[in-house]
Amino acid sequence: MGYHISIAPAITRDLRKWFENAGWQSRANWPKAASAIFDLFFAVVEKEDWEAFPRFEEKHELSKGFKAGFVTPALHSLKPKLRIINMLVGRQAI
């Protein structure tokens, strides 16, 4: 049917509740966090702007919890040539 299903789902339940229960986001902060995530994905997928990652990470109140193991499966779903990365140590992908 043309669906793309991730082989590496990070969260399989309600994302907002999961992040709020972990203390990483608040209900009031979601509009800003969602906009920052969209901006990151658009920059990487559409513009191949790799500097979008450090810009996103600098916004700690918006990016907390959204790291390589969470973000790269979604990016891979949007653009399959991008690899899934479990974690970054320094600038080294693992």
Domain count, the chain: 1
The pLDDT tens digits of the residues spanning 22-36 come to 999 999 999 999 999
Say if 7 falls within a structural domain: no
More confident call, 65 vs 91: 65
Say if 41 falls within a structural domain: yes
More confident call, 9 vs 36: 36
**Residues in contact with 70: Cβ distance below 8 Å, sequence separation at least 6, in sequence order:** 10, 11
pTM equals 0.80
Say if 64 falls within a structural domain: yes
Say if 1 falls within a structural domain: no
DSSP string, 74-92: HHHHHSTTSPP-S-EETTE
pLDDT at 57 over 90: yes
Res 34: pLDDT: 95
Give me the domain span that covers residue 37. Answer: 15-93
pLDDT at 93 over 60: no
Average pLDDT, rounded, for the chain: 86
Say if 9 falls within a structural domain: no
